[in-house]
Structure 1
Amino acid sequence: MDESGKTYPPQALPVQFQTAQNYPAQSYPAQNYPAPSYPAQNYPAQSYPAQNYPAPSYPAQNYPAQNYPAQNYPAQNYPAQNYPAQNYPAQHYPSAPPQHLNVLNIPPDQGCMANRRNQPQSQAVGAAGLIFISGGMNIAFSVGIRYMVGLSVHVRICWFIGAIIGAIISGFLANRVSKKYILQFSSILVTIGGIVLACTYHKVPAITAALYLDGIANGLIFAPTLALIGEISVCQKRGGLAIGIEQLCYGAGIVLQTIFGTIWWWYRDTGFSSLQSHGILSAVFGGIALIFASIFTIESPVIMLANGEEQAAIHALRRLQRPSILTTDTYQQLDEHKRYLALNKDLTVGESISEAIPAFVRLVTLRALNAMSLTKFVVDAMLMVTILRFKKAVWPYAVFGVGRFFGQIVAVFCVDSVGRKKLLLGGLLLASGMAFGLGSQFSYEGLLLYQYNSVDVVLALLIVFQAFAGLAFAPTSAYLSEGFPLGIKQHCIGFTFIMEMLVYVIICVCDWSISGTRAYFFVVGAFYFLSFVAGIWSFPETKLTPLRVAQDKFRSFFAPGFQP
């Protein structure tokens, strides 16, 4: 509407925005008003009477029961589903190490570093190896590698009788007396026997006493040593360690006696006999063995666990490796020993004997055949052909002793890679062939007519026979350390050793002859071949297996295949 009173319709006026005006900022002084304060209001507490209302009650509702007809559905016959059985490998978890200990995870070493890492295991039984060297020298002396002739039967077999006595005593001491004390006592016996021999010149009573002392010492430590090797060594080194300590050390003693005994055969008038050099070496080995037994011997962690001494077992396992620190491998070994102990702790004596019979029969047979490979008949045949062909030459005797030693060295390096069974069967088959060849050469038409070509063949066959025999029977040391239940292990090993010594005794009392030697080698060849055939299905392969697995493989007489 304007001044004249006329009204106009509303017009849509465009919206116009003005630009922002920049006014100067206004600063006002701060206003400090006093905070209001109100007087506290104290109202009296209000208390209301409790209200007790009666609970409502409703009349019960009785509904009539509903009877529904039963529903009969036809049975559904679905075809059975046959799913293949799933065989999952057993999971083995190691015992968890305590959190407060500094436990290191060290990767496994290879080659020479692995040998260095496990070196304390061989040092722990090094004293026994030195005693076995002295025993090998006395075995060679007893079967005929000596310059003394005309010795009585008693002198020839007294070392074996002493070994049997020691093995019997060892059975009563099993797991009752520390192995360290047994090794120390045996070392002292060897030292005394060596001193007696070194101070004696052809005194038969003194020789007999020295042989008895050394035999008792070897019998005392044989079973404890092989049992200890099985319980302290890792499965990758157990076979090589057992062969190296037992078979190789006995072989080294035979080589030493072969060399010294034959050198003084031709130079016996010098005033210093080979038996005195034998005594000096025995005394030295016994003294060093005493030092080793006192410093390096470590008791079995399995026996410690059986006695409830777990911390002592951990300490022993730590000392058995280098560097001597707690690692994850330490607790894995501890866990494996616990499983092995759990497998054996519930076995009664009767159950243990029943489980040990298959292993005992096989190992007694093998050890008896081992004794037959180096007896009076073999050594006398060697001496005869050497004298016929080479007169005063010494080297054939040395080669004869080294032949057996060479086969044992090969076994030490191959037993944990190639396997026990392959070496055993291969050696038995080849030694059987050599024995048959030797039997065919011993005839009146050959040797008694001094046909030198025949003598050369016999000498070569004897040396090769010793090499293959050393290869064949070396794995028996590994089998002895792992084949028997824990409760009667040392007793079974000791009784096997006794049976081997009895074979030596029986053959030593026999008289040598051409015809007897011919029959002897044919019998030996037949036994070796039969053992080879039977061994294809009865000897287990235990390389790289824990003790509990190896023990389980010996429970049956039937063990075909070459895989662990």
Structure 2
Amino acid sequence: MKKYTILISAVAAIGGLLFGFDTAVIAGTIPALRTYFSLDDNAIGLVVAAASIGCIPGALFAGNLANRYGRKLMMLVTAVLYVVAAIGSGIAGSYEALVLYRFIGGLAIGMASTLAPIYISEVAPAEYRGRLGMSQQLAIVMGILLAFISNYFIDSAGWSFLTPENTWRYMLAAAVIPSVIFFILLMFVPESPRWLIQRERHDHAHLIFGKIYEEVKAKEELETVQMDIAADKQGLRFMEIFSPKYRKVVWIGVIFAAIAQLTGINIIFYYAPLIFEKTHVGGSVLFQTVLTGVVNLIFTIIAFWLIDRIGRKKLLLTGSAVMGICMVVVGTLFYTDNLDNYWVLGAIFVYIAAFACTWGAVLWVYVAEIFSNKIRGSATSFAIFGNWTANAIVSWTFPVMLSEMGAPVTFFIYGVINFLMIAFVAKYVFETKGVSLEKVESMYAGL
């Protein structure tokens, strides 16, 4: 695999780094926001979920916009939205303004979570698509860890201009730096060659394929994609993804993306300080939160080695089982009030490790590779829409569930959900390891 392919995939994946940063940075600001704006549990849930709510239209429309205007242009728009959201959140003068700018940030996150997997899947050679597609997830977890480290550093820096009343502003505004870097680097990446072929810009597409493959392979790839697209020259209206030809694979993608959130992973990343405050182990909850980010990063790197060797399906089945057990263990520890040790922290670390190696690794690869060239933009967009809808529900309801139902019941519910996911994966997820994008569609045609 050429370095050029790695570089352009890495730049596209920076959108994922900002995705991780913007969604996780709120965790360190919750206590300050609760005091500063006098917020109850429902209001806290909304300000956390505002980004996820913004992701819903961002993800839903990104695919169609990318089909019309190109993957690169829409990624540039995403970078601009990230900058606006970071600055706006940092200077927000009211709770309503903060929610609004968090929503704008969510638009950017939803777009990035759709566009980066599409772009990477369309430039990646089939034998490396899993690992390159995982660069999105690696960037996300690096963004999460960067947010936790940034929060911890700002909180403990001791600079004179930082006060309990404004520290949260600097935490939220810190995203402006990687956002600007993302915009600049995007100027140097090419458009997706598959999108160029759809626009009948074959010479330009051949030039880009020539930078990704050796010349003979570049010509073969160009001809393969040309034939696939020529087989159905008519344009795609969004509602056509629900036609009998595509309906089953689209709904599999949507449900798959949604249940990835129902694992409960983001109740950990969004509310880790809130959870750790309920244990009795002492120490800085922000530092403990940083450790969850470190575990997430380490096991995401391990997943790079696993995904194209073990395959997608085995990873998903194993991950669901381990995560289900961990959620039950955490619920049991809260039920028995056995919180004066490190068992809760340990169980959460194992849970995060299992997610990072399995569902976190596979999600962004799978939802972009199971759809054919014709529907990839719109179908991936709709699948990510399902992901963010579930994310918004989970992030908004968790503090209320924790308050009204208690920690044991809340974690038991997520444990059961993880066990139920095993049945879905066993029946509806096919192994796509090493299969070309043009061949994956036929695997689902018989459902």
Shorter-chain TM range is 0.7 to 0.9
Query: 1:21-170 residue pairs with structure 2 within 5 A?
Result: 114=1, 117=2, 119-142=3-26, 146-150=30-34, 151=39, 152=43, 153-170=45-62
Structure 1, 482-491 or 505-514: larger mean CA deviation: 505-514
Q: 2:219 aligns with which of 323, 328, 331?
A: 331
Q: Which gives a bigger RCO, structure 1 or 2 (Cα 8 Å, sep 6+)?
A: 2
Query: 1:54-453 residue pairs with structure 2 within 5 A?
Result: 114=1, 117=2, 119-142=3-26, 146-150=30-34, 151=39, 152=43, 153-198=45-90, 200=91, 204-245=95-136, 247-264=137-154, 270-272=160-162, 274-279=167-172, 281-296=174-189, 298-321=190-213, 327-342=215-230, 345=233, 350=240, 353-372=243-262, 373-376=264-267, 380=271, 383-385=274-276, 388-392=280-284, 394-443=286-335, 445-447=336-338, 451-453=339-341
- Segments of structure 2 that go 5 or more residues without pairing to the other structure are none
**Aligned-pair Cα RMSD in Å:** 3.0
Secondary structure, aligned partner of 1:487: coil
Q: How far, CA to CA, are the matches of 1:392 and 1:230 in structure 2? A: 40
Secondary structure, aligned partner of 2:32: coil
CA deviations on 1:43-68 (whole Å, 9 max, x unpaired) are xxxxxxxxxxxxxxxxxxxxxxxxxx
CA deviations on 1:104-151 (whole Å, 9 max, x unpaired) are xxxxxxxxxx3xx1x322433444322322221221244676442424
- Over the matched positions of the two proteins, sequence identity in percent amounts to 20
CA deviations on 1:218-260 (whole Å, 9 max, x unpaired) are 2233323322222211001111111212x22221121122233
Code of the aligned partner of 2:107: I
Q: How far, CA to CA, are the matches of 2:232 and 2:141 in structure 1? A: 34
Instruction: Tell me the matched-pair count.
Output: 428
Larger radius of gyration: 1
Code of the aligned partner of 2:21: M
Query: Residue 191 of structure 1 contacts residue 287 of structure 1 at CA under 8 Å; is this kept in 2?
Result: yes
Query: Residue 148 of structure 2 contacts residue 286 of structure 2 at CA under 8 Å; is this kept in 1?
Result: no
The alignment's TM-score, normalised by the length of structure 2, stands at 0.85
Structure 1, 341-350 or 158-167: larger mean CA deviation: 341-350
Name the structure with the higher helix share.
2
Secondary structure, aligned partner of 1:486: coil
Provide the residue aligned with 1:461 in structure 2.
Answer: 347
Query: 1:485-504 residue pairs with structure 2 within 5 A?
Result: 485-504=372-391
CA deviations on 1:256-313 (whole Å, 9 max, x unpaired) are 22233345556788533554444554222121111111112x2222233233332222
Provide the residue aligned with 1:49 in structure 2.
Answer: none
Q: How far, CA to CA, are the matches of 1:167 and 1:364 in structure 2? A: 12
Q: How far, CA to CA, are the matches of 1:253 and 1:145 in structure 2? A: 16
Secondary structure, aligned partner of 2:358: helix
Question: Does the C-alpha gap of structure 1 residues 163 and 533 become closer, same or farther in structure 2, counting only changes over 3 Å?
Answer: closer
Q: How far, CA to CA, are the matches of 1:364 and 1:265 in structure 2? A: 39
Q: How far, CA to CA, are the matches of 1:155 and 1:424 in structure 2? A: 31
Question: Does the C-alpha gap of structure 1 residues 229 and 161 become closer, same or farther in structure 2, counting only changes over 3 Å?
Answer: same
Code of the aligned partner of 2:313: K
Query: Residue 138 of structure 2 contacts residue 300 of structure 2 at CA under 8 Å; is this kept in 1?
Result: yes
Code of the aligned partner of 1:525: G
Kindly indicate whether residue 430 of structure 2 is the aligned counterpart of residue 540 of structure 1.
yes
CA deviations on 1:376-417 (whole Å, 9 max, x unpaired) are 477546644456212436542211122222332222232122
Provide the residue aligned with 2:358 in structure 1.
Answer: 472
CA deviations on 1:344-401 (whole Å, 9 max, x unpaired) are 5579865874343333333333322322323447754664445621243654221112
- Segments of structure 1 that go 5 or more residues without pairing to the other structure are 1-113, 558-564
Secondary structure, aligned partner of 1:389: coil
1:154 Cα deviation from its structure 2 partner: 3.7
Q: How far, CA to CA, are the matches of 1:292 and 1:378 in structure 2? A: 28
Question: Does the C-alpha gap of structure 1 residues 357 and 436 become closer, same or farther in structure 2, counting only changes over 3 Å?
Answer: farther
Question: Does the C-alpha gap of structure 1 residues 331 and 243 become closer, same or farther in structure 2, counting only changes over 3 Å?
Answer: same
Q: How far, CA to CA, are the matches of 1:160 and 1:351 in structure 2? A: 24
Query: Residue 358 of structure 1 contacts residue 556 of structure 1 at CA under 8 Å; is this kept in 2?
Result: no
Q: How far, CA to CA, are the matches of 2:14 and 2:170 in structure 1? A: 16
Question: Does the C-alpha gap of structure 1 residues 342 and 410 become closer, same or farther in structure 2, counting only changes over 3 Å?
Answer: farther
Code of the aligned partner of 2:223: D
Provide the residue aligned with 1:3 in structure 2.
Answer: none
Secondary structure, aligned partner of 1:411: helix
Query: Residue 438 of structure 1 contacts residue 461 of structure 1 at CA under 8 Å; is this kept in 2?
Result: yes
Q: How far, CA to CA, are the matches of 1:393 and 1:534 in structure 2? A: 36
Code of the aligned partner of 2:222: L
Structure 1, 283-292 or 361-370: larger mean CA deviation: 361-370
